[in-house]
Amino acid sequence: MKGTKLICAALSGMLLAALAVPCSADETHTAETYEGDGFTLSYQLEDAGAAVVGCSSDAVNVTVPDTLGGKPVTSVEESAFNSCGAIETVTLPDSVTLIGDGAFFGCTTLKSIALPKSLTKIGYQAFYYCADLESINLPESMQSIGDQAFLACLKLTTVTLPASLTSLGEYAFEGCEELTEIRVDPENQIYCDLEGVLFNEDMTRLIKYPDQHAGDSYTLPDSTTAIANWAFTGAKNLVSLDLNKATEIGKDAFYICTALEQITIPEGVTALPGTTFGGCTALKQVQLPDSLTELGDYCFVNCPELKDITIPGSVSTIGNYALGFTLDTETKTTAKVDGFTIHTRVGTAAASYAKENDIHYEKQGAKTGLALVIAGGVLLLAGAVILAIRLRGDKQNDAPEAATDTPKEQETPDAPEKE
């Protein structure tokens, strides 16, 4: 699937880098071992209890005992299971309160894990790319989930955040391609959900729209003014989206929304950060507001159906490959979108961008509108001198006398360069 390839391309470098980092605990402590049924655990004894620091690479089904070395097991440490390429099930005792950073990183065959009732913290990338993990039951004791904790858990379908949760890291459920809803216990004071879409408690910020959420259209609630980084990334079913009163849009907010066809950015939005609409392969129509000042790098990259766009004069910054380009994520090479046209005024940042990148653009004229102004006997039409006259004060002579004053010559803008 193209969406999966795009996500995996972005994550593969991080995956390899993390797997190359050795477990820091192994460098500072001598580990002891426990022989289980078909697996071997490495552990260290600490003041508070025993910490699991490693597991044999051929382990398939692992049940961690209540005690190791005579002490209760209280934690699964950093990278403890990330070398287990065949592991399918894990059961942890109720004494465990911590699952450390990257503890099950890249365990692609892990199908289920029984989390303990006493668990309070899941660390950074703890279950990153556990591709076969289908469900996770977060206990009522849970307080903190780290950044990217469940990123790319491709088969995860539903999640319920408990009332006790006070901290949810960024990108915690990104790349979960089958996720249909994120539910929140009504007693939670930090987060809430509306029909399976995750918000902060007062619904001013949309945090995550699940990748496989039902329905092909969505309208943000009136209270929502901010859209978090990666909020709609990978939303496969969205064809149309009403951003309503949103004024803040995060990085990669609509990345690879492959069914999205049109979008209107509300007035008040000032910036579209890098890759905001990258990979929106069906996107055909975009309307930008006059409040917009910045388009980030790769903002509309890999939008091959977007053939033309009007850029308001308010936009002063346009990043690299923001408009009219495709990017091959494997070779890192770019190509121009066939027939792409930018509509903008002469002298704008968009005009400069078009020239610099050899992109066709159609020039818009100055703001139009007819206006008749008489000031000091000078008749103006839309800012140009039409007739200079001096009105006589003699009421008996209705004919105006031609003015002897010569009106100041109006500056004429340079003619636009020929394409």
pLDDT by residue (tens digit) across 312-345?
Answer: 999 999 999 999 999 998 999 999 999 999 999 9
Q: What is the mean pLDDT of residues 383-410?
A: 42
Q: What is the mean pLDDT of residues 388-402?
A: 44
Cβ atoms of 138 and 116 closer than 8 Å: no
SS3 227: strand
Q: How confident is the model at residue 393 (pLDDT cuts 50, 70, 90)?
A: very low
The rounded distance, in Å, linking the Cα atoms of 280 and 262 is 10
Task: Tell me: pLDDT of 26 over 60.
Answer: no
As a whole-number percent, the residues of the chain with pLDDT over 90 amount to: 79
Q: What is the mean pLDDT of residues 249-253?
A: 98
pLDDT at 235: 98
Pick the closest to residue 92 from 60, 121, 118 (CA basis).
118
Q: How confident is the model at residue 7 (pLDDT cuts 50, 70, 90)?
A: low
| Alpha-helix runs per DSSP H in 96-184 | none
Q: What residues have CB less than 8 Å from 45, skipping those under 6 apart?
A: 32, 51, 68, 69, 71
pTM to 2 decimal places: 0.82
How far, in Å, are 366, 371, 386, 414 from residue 383 at the CA level?
11, 8, 9, 17
Pick the closest to residue 210 from 226, 200, 223, 196 (CA basis).
196
pLDDT tens per residue across span 272-313: 999 999 999 999 999 999 999 999 999 999 999 999 999 999
329 CB neighbour count, 10 Å cutoff: 17
| Topology of the domain covering 1-214 | 3.80.10
pLDDT tens per residue across span 156-175: 999 999 999 999 999 999 99
The rounded distance, in Å, linking the Cα atoms of 112 and 56 is 18
The rounded distance, in Å, linking the Cα atoms of 181 and 194 is 10
pLDDT at 370: 41
The rounded distance, in Å, linking the Cα atoms of 366 and 347 is 11
| Angle (nearest 5°) at CA 45 between 41 and 50 | 60
pLDDT at 29: 56
Question: Please, which residues bridge with residue 264 across strands?
Answer: 287
Give me the chain's average pLDDT, please: 87
- Superfamily of 226-365 according to CATH: Ribonuclease Inhibitor (3.80.10.10)
> What are the sequence ranges of the domains in the chain?
1-214, 226-365, 370-419
The rounded distance, in Å, linking the Cα atoms of 307 and 342 is 9
Q: What is the mean pLDDT of residues 357-371?
A: 73
Pick the closest to residue 305 from 339, 265, 342 (CA basis).
339
As a whole-number percent, the residues of the chain with pLDDT over 70 amount to: 80
Pick the closest to residue 15 from 85, 111, 97, 102 (CA basis).
102
Please check whether the two domains, 1-214 and 226-365, share a CATH topology.
yes
